């Protein structure tokens, strides 16, 4: 399916989705969101792909929503459009998604990065939720994901003041995985994606589910959930292969079964 | 440009001159804005490979325009901290983030924020007889615009403390001994020496130069493991450039590389 605002590329086992609206700093209009989610879902269903990367260009990962499309919208229109149903599909993706961020990741762009499972950023990256400056608040998970990854007080500062943080500060506060030299973000994301791609796919998938569950439930329920997935993996061929390969001091050959 | 600064081009080298000799090139907001715009534009301009920053008249730059500060303090309209954030910080940042080498040609003394400006540059070439003055304490103020960062890293805490607490002038000859100044030359040769240095740097591999600048900047805050990882990232990018590939071939073929300017 041809897309207007995203580019897709399979590089070995890694599917790369690039937001491509440079003239508006990759602002996220409903069509762009629909396309990028669709592209990720397609890779998610592709047996040859083990991990996805979501990126923008050097100047912007994604600079928030298209304000020009929202300026005259009322509550009823926003509710009826149900843009958030598109975002919700993002959560149902099974394979890991790595955000490779350079430049602006603001508003919806920041929320999009934080939806990803890992975030790698160029030192030029800026993360922020400026919504408060225009009379709204983050609507695609910003308040919740900032609080969960960076903590309450950092989330309050981001959401109540709206000033962005630099990549080095975002790394320090646990918002992102790591900062790399300007221009090296995609290389680093590919390096990590290929490491993930070399791991047994079922273990990766259930590991992602288990960590995501930690954001949803109390510790006891989370531990119970983890235990069940742990037992489940003992039924896999990859577990037998992985353990044998370890004992025989050779790399494992995993088939995802 | 504006009347407070002017710019001249000499091949791939852009010279920005602070042009308020009657005020010893003191910095006011329009001057800082013009310098910042000039440096940022040079950073984007493919025709330019290096920038020289200098002053007209007998001073390089005497720092903040204290007449302007005093007048604004009297009216109660001034918040010095916000003035720094709005005017000085973006200028220092523009120099540090400029992907091209920025050389300060110190035609005369650099004092206060004028020294900060000189220290933010990548190299300093000075006219004999000029002085560097961490002058802030003389007017009851704290070094700013990056001065504390640059001084402590360039000369160490001990010397930085001595200079910042005393406000005593340092001759450029003494500054050269400390490594603060790359060369001291007779005043009438200053611009030709600075332009020649800038020209040589402008002829180098541009993308690699930018990567080295970024690496040096970040290396100051990282430990060995982090620096070696940073170097691996930067080297991956550098090795991919046409200039690096040309230079490696030229080395093997025992010839001088020709870089794409």
Whether residue B13 lies inside any domain: the answer is yes
Q: Which residues of B touch A182 (CB under 8 A)?
A: 214
Position B206 pLDDT exceeds 60: yes
Q: Which residues of A touch B230 (CB under 8 A)?
A: 180-181
User: Which pLDDT value is given to residue A169?
Assistant: 97
A184 touches chain B (CB under 8 A): yes
**Cβ-contact A195, A251 below 8 angstroms:** no
Span A158-216, pLDDT tens digits: 999 999 999 999 999 999 999 999 999 999 999 999 999 999 999 999 999 999 999 99
| pTM for this model (two decimals) | 0.88
The residue range of the domain holding B167 is 5-202
Cα first-last separation, chain B: 25
Enumerate the domain spans of chain A: 6-197, 201-247
Please report, for residues A218, A234, A245, B145, the alpha-carbon distance to residue A226 in angstroms, rounded to integers and kept in the order given: 12, 13, 24, 52
What chain A residue is nearest to B234 in terms of C-alpha separation?
A: A181
A150 three-state secondary structure:
helix
Poorest-confidence range of A11-20, A72-81, A213-222, B226-235? A72-81
The interface predicted TM-score (ipTM) is 0.81
Residues B102 and B47 in one domain: yes
Which chain B residues touch A if contact means CB-CB below 8 Å?
A: 211, 214-215, 218, 230, 233-234, 236-237
What is the residue-wise DSSP string for A16-82?
EEEE--GGGTT-B-HHHHHHHHHHHHHHHT-TT--EEEEE--SSEEEE-B-GGGTTT--HHHHHHH-
Q: How far apart are CA B15 and CA A148, in angstroms?
A: 50
Q: How far apart are CA B23 and CA B61, in angstroms?
A: 9
Q: Which residues of A touch B236 (CB under 8 A)?
A: 184, 187
Residues B171 and B228 in one domain: no
**Cβ-contact B238, B207 below 8 angstroms:** yes
CATH of the domain at B245: 1.10.12
User: What is the pLDDT confidence band of residue A57, given thresholds at 50, 70 and 90?
Assistant: very high
Position A72 pLDDT exceeds 90: no
Residues B117 and B58 in one domain: yes
Position B261 pLDDT exceeds 80: no
- CATH code of the region A201-247: 1.10.12.10
Whether residue B260 lies inside any domain: the answer is no
Residues B89 and B216 in one domain: no
Average pLDDT, chain B: 95
User: What is the pLDDT confidence band of residue B2, given thresholds at 50, 70 and 90?
Assistant: low
User: What is the pLDDT confidence band of residue B79, given thresholds at 50, 70 and 90?
Assistant: confident
Stronger pLDDT, A70 or A182, i.e. the higher one: A182
Q: Which residues of B touch A188 (CB under 8 A)?
A: 233
Partnered with residue A65 across adjacent β-strands are A28
A-B Cβ pairs (cutoff 8 Å, strict)? 22
A169 touches chain B (CB under 8 A): no
CATH of the domain at B63: 3.90.226.10
Whether residue B258 lies inside any domain: the answer is no
- Token look-up 């010095």 returns B80
User: What is the pLDDT confidence band of residue A141, given thresholds at 50, 70 and 90?
Assistant: very high
Residues B68 and B189 in one domain: yes
Q: Which CATH number fits domain A6-197: 1.20.1530.20, 3.90.226.10, 3.10.250.10, 1.10.10.10?
A: 3.90.226.10
User: What is the pLDDT confidence band of residue B114, given thresholds at 50, 70 and 90?
Assistant: very high
Q: Which residues of A touch B214 (CB under 8 A)?
A: 123, 181-182
The total domain count for chain B is 2
A136 touches chain B (CB under 8 A): no
Distance from B237 to chain A by nearest Cα, in Å?
7
User: Which pLDDT value is given to residue A66?
Assistant: 76
* Mean pLDDT of all residues in B218-229: 93
Residues B42 and B65 in one domain: yes
* Mean pLDDT of all residues in A8-29: 96
- Scanning B167-222, the segments in alpha helix (DSSP H) are 172-177, 190-202, 206-219
User: Which pLDDT value is given to residue A253?
Assistant: 92
User: Which pLDDT value is given to residue B216?
Assistant: 94
A183 touches chain B (CB under 8 A): yes
User: What is the pLDDT confidence band of residue A1, given thresholds at 50, 70 and 90?
Assistant: low
**Cβ-contact A6, A18 below 8 angstroms:** yes
Stronger pLDDT, B70 or B248, i.e. the higher one: B248
Judge: B233–A123 Cβ closer than 8 Å, yes or no.
no
Judge: B237–A123 Cβ closer than 8 Å, yes or no.
no
Distance from A187 to chain B by nearest Cα, in Å?
8
What chain B residue is nearest to A185 in terms of C-alpha separation?
A: B233
Position B1 pLDDT exceeds 70: no
Position A249 pLDDT exceeds 80: yes
Residue of B118, B215, B133 whose CA lies nearest to B170: B133
Residues B224 and B113 in one domain: no
Contacts of A31 (CB under 8 A, 6+ apart): A4, A5
Whether residue B257 lies inside any domain: the answer is no
Distance from B94 to chain A by nearest Cα, in Å?
13
User: What is the pLDDT confidence band of residue A28, given thresholds at 50, 70 and 90?
Assistant: very high
Span B135-191, pLDDT tens digits: 999 999 999 999 999 999 999 999 999 999 999 999 999 999 999 999 999 999 999
**Cβ-contact A53, A193 below 8 angstroms:** yes
Judge: A184–B218 Cβ closer than 8 Å, yes or no.
no
Judge: A184–B236 Cβ closer than 8 Å, yes or no.
yes
List, by residue number, the catalytic residues of A. 65, 108, 111, 131
B78: left (phi over 0), alpha (psi -120 to 50) or beta: beta
User: Which pLDDT value is given to residue A77?
Assistant: 83
């Amino acid at each position: 399916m041809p897309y207007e605002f995203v580019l897709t590329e399979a590089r070995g086992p890694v599917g790369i989705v690039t937001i491509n609206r440079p003239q508006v700093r990759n602002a996220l209009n409903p069509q762009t969101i629909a396309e990028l989610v669709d592209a990720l879902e397609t890779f998610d269903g592709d047996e040859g792909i083990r991990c996805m990367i979501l990126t923008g260009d050097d100047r912007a990962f994604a600079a928030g929503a298209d304000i020009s499309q929202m300026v005259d919208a009322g509550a009823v229109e926003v509710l009826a459009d149900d843009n958030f149903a598109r975002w919700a599909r993002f959560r149902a993706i099974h394979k890991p998604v790595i955000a490779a961020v350079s430049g602006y990741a603001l508003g919806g762009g920041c929320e999009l990065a934080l939806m990803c499972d890992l975030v790698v950023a160029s030192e030029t990256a800026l993360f922020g939720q400026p919504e408060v400056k225009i009379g709204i608040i983050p609507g695609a998970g910003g308040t919740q994901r900032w609080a969960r990854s960076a903590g309450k007080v950092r989330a309050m500062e981001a959401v109540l003041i709206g000033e962005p943080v630099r990549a080095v500060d975002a790394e320090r506060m646990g918002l992102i995985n790591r900062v790399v030299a300007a221009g090296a973000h995609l290389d680093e994301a590919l390096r990590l994606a290929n490491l993930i791609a070399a791991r047994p796919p079922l273990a990766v998938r259930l590991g992602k589910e288990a960590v995501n569950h930690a954001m949803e439930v109390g510790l006891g329920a989370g531990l119970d959930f983890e235990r069940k997935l742990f037992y489940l993996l003992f039924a896999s061929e990859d577990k037998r292969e992985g353990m044998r390969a370890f004992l025989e001091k050779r790399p494992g050959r995993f088939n995802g079964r | 440009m504006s009347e407070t600064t002017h710019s001249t081009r000499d091949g791939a080298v852009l010279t920005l001159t602070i042009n308020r000799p009657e005020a010893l090139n003191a910095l006011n907001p329009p001057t800082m804005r013009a310098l910042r715009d000039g440096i940022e534009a040079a950073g984007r301009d493919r025709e330019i490979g290096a920038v020289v920053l200098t002053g007209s008249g007998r001073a390089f730059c005497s720092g903040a325009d204290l007449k302007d500060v005093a007048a604004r303090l009297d009216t109660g309209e001034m918040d010095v901290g916000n003035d720094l954030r709005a005017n000085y910080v973006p200028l220092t940042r523009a120099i540090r983030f400029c992907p091209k080498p920025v050389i300060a040609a110190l035609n005369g003394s650099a004092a206060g924020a004028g020294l900060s400006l000189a220290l933010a540059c990548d190299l300093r070439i000075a006219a004999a007889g000029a002085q560097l003055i961490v002058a802030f304490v003389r007017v009851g103020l704290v070094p700013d615009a990056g001065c504390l960062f640059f001084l402590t890293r360039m000369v160490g805490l001990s010397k930085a403390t001595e200079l910042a607490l005393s406000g005593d002038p340092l001759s450029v000859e003494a500054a050269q001994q400390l490594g603060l100044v790359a060369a001291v030359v007779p005043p009438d040769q200053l611009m030709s020496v600075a332009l020649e240095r800038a020209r040589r740097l402008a002829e180098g591999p541009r993308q690699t130069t930018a990567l080295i600048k970024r690496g040096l900047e970040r290396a100051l805050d990282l430990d060995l493991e982090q620096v070696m990882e940073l170097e691996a990232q930067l080297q991956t990018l550098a090795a991919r450039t046409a200039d690096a590939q040309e230079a490696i071939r030229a080395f093997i073929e025992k010839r001088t590389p020709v870089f794409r300017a």
